A = this chain, B = another copy of it.
Amino acid sequence: MRMPEIIADTQLQAALLSLPAWKLEQGELTRTVVFQDFKQAMGFVNRVAELAEAKGHHPDIDIRYNKVRLGLVTHDAGGITEKDLRLAQEIERN
């Protein structure tokens, strides 16, 4: 399989316009979501996990009671690629 290419910074900034809940943080595409409680947070984590498995691309997931932080980066490519953007878009649709 072709290694996905790292997205240039200007392109990334443009892509972020359609992903307002996401931001760039230490070389990762991140989103933090706050829920009412842990149970709802876990519901979200499981939905994200299902999408991640379907795409074969897995975000870093940090759970802090009702708060979930997702971090997307393509480790093999050493940066943010189309795989990350596509998964972020997929998560937004769900």
Q: Which residues of chain A have a CB within 8 Å of any CB of chain B?
A: 38-39, 42, 45-46, 49, 52-53, 58, 60-65
Contact = CB atoms under 8 A, between A and B. Distances in A.
Contacts of A60: 62-64
Enumerate the 7 nearest inter-chain pairs by beta-carbon distance, A residue then B residue, closest first: A61-B63, A42-B49, A58-B65, A62-B62, A38-B58, A60-B64, A39-B53
A38 B42 contact: no
Tallying the copies of this chain within the complex gives 2
Nearest to A66: B58
A85 to B, nearest CB: 19
A52 B41 CA distance: 13
A27 B65 CA distance: 18
